[in-house]
Structure 1
Amino acid sequence: MILYVLRRLAASLVLTVLVSMITFFLLSTSFDGIVRGMLGSAANPASVQLKKAEMGMDRPVIAQYFDWLFHALRGEFGVSYFTSEPVGSAVWNHFTVTLSIVLVALSLTVVISVVLGVLAASRGGVVDRLAQGASLFGYLVPNLLIVIGLVVVFAIKLDWLPATGYTPFAEDPVRWLAAIVIPVIGLMVGGIASLSAQIRGAMIGELRKDYVRTLRTRGISTRSIVLRHALRNAAGPALTVLSFEFIAMLGGALIIENVFALPGIGSYSFNAALQGDVPIIMGLSLFGVLFVVGINLVVDVVNGWLNPKARLQ
């Protein structure tokens, strides 16, 4: 198991370096435009070259990248070109907002999907048809349309929830919860549709296997068979889908944050990209890659624990 984890860590490290390198090289193609944007009306060829030399942008790109990488390995990510705010603290402060929304959405998605998938597979009949209908609804109806409908009903007509804005949890938990209700529902719909369908299919396959019939002949209760045996064996494929959904929710949060004016990583990265704030963009890309790689690593390790065959693959 230790060797398995070390192999995954090595692959994750290589991926992180490659993504950061590609991002930096792509940004380097627009250094002239970034400097002109910083200088404004005072920009001319001479002043642009002078500013680039002052910021170290006139050096070879590969040298600039390894200089950035060396400082990043020491936890030094630089400061914003426009606000002089340290990149590490700025990215973390905005990321916590996004993470609070995504984690709530993911937790509710897991609970609802497991309940729907297990009930549909073990009960069948009307329960199964209702669960499949709910999944189909989540697949067919766009999340943004659902969000708009919720805003119209609960924020505009009933005035129960705020249409935009965000309140930190530490400041007022009730207002924080009210601010994230609609965004969380918008993130959950598609996730529940795919995850519950995956769990249902995996559970049906497990409940038809020979070991389940053997357990039943030994007098083991159906509840114990479903929850202690079949669900664990069905968890591997579902965990893989869950990791994809988590990443998809992070991507969806980038859009929803701009719609609801939430101070998360989505609106922050959008503004940084418009300004060409290279240190912020590099910090965001590195943080995002590390987070996604970390999630995939955790899923791989859990899959390896649940299914020893996965470690051999």
Structure 2
Amino acid sequence: MMLKLVARRLAWSVPLALVASVVSFVLVALLPGDAARSLLGPNATPEQLDAARQQLGLDQPLWVQYGKWLSGAVRGDLGSSLINRQPVAEQLNDRLGPSLSLIIGAVLVATLVGVLLGVRAARRGALGRIVQTGAIVGLALPDFWLGLMLVVLFAVKLAVFPPTGYVPLGENPAGWLNSLVLPVVTLAVPATAVIAKQTRDAVASALDQTFVRTLRAAGVTEFSVVYRHALKNAAIPVLTVIGMVFVGALGGTVAVEFIFAIPGLGGTAVQATSAHDLPLIQGVVVYFTLIVIAVNLLVDVAYGYLNPRTRRS
């Protein structure tokens, strides 16, 4: 049954990836700018620009360009960058690690802290009001402002963490962890607020159910009631918001990677868009789409594990 669920979700992922590639291809083509101009510079003559567009295939109709790209993409060939002529897949593979390190780290921190805060606040009282207020404040803080404040405090004044840069895990695990602390916290703060509020509401609702009163009357410890029964009952809405947080973190990496000079997919997307580098932008869209599909699939599998009835949906 679980294999059928996975197969159905993967089948739905194919049209999703196709639609995402078409939409991004058209939108990028409509943006002002010219890859030939970015490549040759502002002093290029019209003849030179026309020759560059012809060489790059930019003089062809948009549907022809997309068809050529798609025919290569289904074979695993995402083409080459229009600007540096390097294979897109190689460039993005080099930048995938930093982005995933940042996103996964932020989601793990947000999930751990958010769930613990939410469960504690579910019993209402002062902590519940603090979590409610903290969620509003956390969501209102812009990523770029929070990142800059953390750099000023912990990198400039206290000199505890490096202000910018990324150290690969294979080179220096301690340096890798040290370089990720500030960007992970920057990305995790609003995510923690969302998860904490959802956990608080879901667990509080579960604690009001009849089965909880029955468990307490039977002498089950409060810890077991909350963490083994109420939290499990509230797990599906919490998992939903965690999946949404992960997907939302993909967009948040753009600002965070720029602030902390992390060579990830978000910064690459910004650079490719400014240069009108269509193959590189399409490659980023493909990678982001595959990440979203993988996250949604994991969430669906978790749904099926927690609630067997969802396996048939």
The answer to whether the 8 A contact 1:258-1:267 is kept is yes
| Structure 2: distance between partners of 1:239 and 1:30 | 37
> Runs of 5+ in structure 2 lacking a partner?
none
Give the match for residue 98 of structure 1.
Answer: 99
Give a deviation string over 1:8-43, Cα, whole Å, max 9, x none.
222221011011112223344569822243344344
| Structure 1: distance between partners of 2:149 and 2:256 | 14
Give the match for residue 161 of structure 2.
Answer: 161
Give the match for residue 109 of structure 2.
Answer: 108
Structure 1 residues 59 and 142, CA gap change in structure 2 (3 angstroms) = closer
Q: CA deviation at 1:249?
A: 1.7
Q: CA deviation at 1:140?
A: 4.1
Q: CA deviation at 1:67?
A: 2.3
Q: CA deviation at 1:186?
A: 1.0
The answer to whether the 8 A contact 1:91-1:265 is kept is yes
Give a deviation string over 1:243-265, Cα, whole Å, max 9, x none.
11112222111101111212112
Query: Given the two structures, how large is their TM-score scaled by the length of structure 1?
Result: 0.90
Query: Given the two structures, how large is their TM-score scaled by the length of structure 2?
Result: 0.90
Give a deviation string over 1:180-238, Cα, whole Å, max 9, x none.
22111111111111111100110011111112222233332222222222111201111
Question: Counterpart amino acid of 1:11?
Answer: W
Structure 1 residues 136 and 273, CA gap change in structure 2 (3 angstroms) = closer
Structure 1 residues 153 and 54, CA gap change in structure 2 (3 angstroms) = closer
| Structure 2: distance between partners of 1:148 and 1:10 | 42
Give the match for residue 72 of structure 1.
Answer: 73
SS in structure 2 at match of 1:229:
helix
Alignment size in residue pairs: 311
Give the match for residue 135 of structure 2.
Answer: 135
Q: Percent identity?
A: 37
Q: Does 1:21 align with 2:22?
A: yes
The answer to whether the 8 A contact 2:243-2:296 is kept is yes
Q: CA deviation at 1:299?
A: 1.3
Q: Which moved more, 1:297-306 or 1:94-103?
A: 297-306
The answer to whether the 8 A contact 1:31-1:57 is kept is no
> Runs of 5+ in structure 1 lacking a partner?
none
The answer to whether the 8 A contact 1:32-1:48 is kept is no
- What are the within-5 Å matches in structure 2 for residues 1-12 of structure 1? 1=1, 2-12=3-13
Structure 1 residues 311 and 142, CA gap change in structure 2 (3 angstroms) = same
| Structure 1: distance between partners of 2:141 and 2:65 | 47
Q: Does 1:243 align with 2:250?
A: no
Structure 1 residues 28 and 189, CA gap change in structure 2 (3 angstroms) = closer
Structure 1 residues 82 and 145, CA gap change in structure 2 (3 angstroms) = closer
Tell me the C-alpha RMSD between the 2 structures.
Answer: 2.3
| Structure 2: distance between partners of 1:196 and 1:100 | 22
Q: Does 1:230 align with 2:230?
A: yes
Question: Counterpart amino acid of 1:304?
Answer: G
Structure 1 residues 138 and 24, CA gap change in structure 2 (3 angstroms) = closer
Q: Which moved more, 1:71-80 or 1:143-152?
A: 143-152
Question: Counterpart amino acid of 1:96?
Answer: G
| Structure 1: distance between partners of 2:286 and 2:266 | 15
The answer to whether the 8 A contact 1:195-1:241 is kept is yes
Q: Does 1:205 align with 2:205?
A: yes
| Structure 2: distance between partners of 1:134 and 1:202 | 17
